[in-house]
Amino acid sequence: MNITKYAAPVVFYPLAGKLIPWFAWATAITLAVGLIMGLFIAPTDYQQGESYRIMFIHVPSAWMSMLVYVVMATAGAVALAWKTRLSEMLATACAPVGASFTLIALITGSIWGKPMWGTYWVWDARLTSELVLLFLYLGFMALQASIDDPRRAARAAAILALVGVINIPIIHFSVEWWNTLHQPASVSKISAPSIHPSMLWPLLINAAGFHLFFATAVLIRMRTEVLIRERHKSWIADIIGTKP
């Protein structure tokens, strides 16, 4: 089976259209289960009380903010190396989704931080590097928007994304490298996570839901990018019912 054929927009577009409903339903079901478990079934934390429940949104958002950036930068690198149009479209589609995850992580983190730290914001290493990540996403989108030619814009934005990858390990290891207010990792310690299973399972289910939402949103945005970039092709005219 030759999977490289799916890199062609004419093949990808109908395939994505078939996948989107499946991912959308899986997203809705997974998030519904995860949020009900996290917000209503999981026990109250003995230290943080009910305020810890924002974790079930904050933590998956923070994870996704980094993952989406890596996907975006990887797609940009593939586009630079092999000049594949679909990789450019993937990077473009990732940017606003990743920026949204990052903004949610920052807002929910600030809300969570108020009862824990006594303030909504501190220039903590983790918070500051996450804010830099938001600026990288915004810079990626602004750079693309500033260049008229889509191919040139994609190449320039891809270079920026690759430079910004250095911020990802800084975010991840900031709580280990510096003395920060942000709590250290409690889930990634696979051998013995320091979070009770009654809280861990809702968190992991929500994380799966966020991954599914990302796939759904990116497929939708990529189909839109295909329509925009390939609008002069005859197969697009056949889809939308107009002559090329």
What one-letter code names the amino acid at 104? I
Task: Write down the mean pLDDT value for the chain.
Answer: 91
Query: Which pLDDT value is given to residue 128?
Result: 94
CA-wise closest residue to 94 among 78, 111, 110:
78
Q: Count of CB atoms within 10 A of residue 169's CB?
A: 12
Residue ranges covered by each domain of the chain: 22-177+195-240
Bigger pLDDT: 218 vs 244: 218
What percentage of the chain has pLDDT greater than the value 90? 73
* pLDDT tops 50 at residue 198: yes
Pairwise CA distance, residues 136 & 162, whole Å: 10
CB-based contact 67:102 (threshold 8 Å)? no
- How many CA atoms, within 13 angstroms, populate the side-chain half-sphere of residue 89? 22
Lowest mean pLDDT among 5-9, 24-28, 44-48, 51-55: 5-9
Query: pLDDT tens digits for 48-99?
Result: 899 999 999 999 999 999 999 999 999 999 999 999 999 999 999 999 999 9
List, in order, residues 6 or more apart from 13 with CB less than 8 Å away: 223, 226, 227, 239
Confidence of residue 1 (pLDDT cuts 50, 70, 90): low
Cα separation of 35 and 18, whole Å?
A: 27
**Residue for token pair 């950036």:** 69
Burial class (CB in 10 A: 0-12, 13-18, 19+), 204: middle
Considering the chain, what percentage of its residues have pLDDT values greater than 70? Answer: 90
Q: What is the pLDDT of residue 236?
A: 83
Torsion of CA 160, 164, 165, 166, to 10 degrees: 140
What six digits make up the tokens of 158? 């891809």
Residue 219 confidence (pLDDT) above 50: yes
DSSP H or E run through 137: helix 125-146
**Distance from C-alpha of 95 to C-alpha of 34, rounded to nearest angstrom:** 25
Q: pLDDT band at residue 35, thresholds of 50, 70 and 90? A: very high
Q: Provide the residue count of the chain.
A: 244
Q: Which residues of 93-123 are buried (b: 16+ CB within 10 A; e: fewer)?
A: bbbbbbbbbbbbbbebbbebbeeeeeeeebe
Is residue 69 within 8 A of residue 165, CB to CB? The reply is: yes
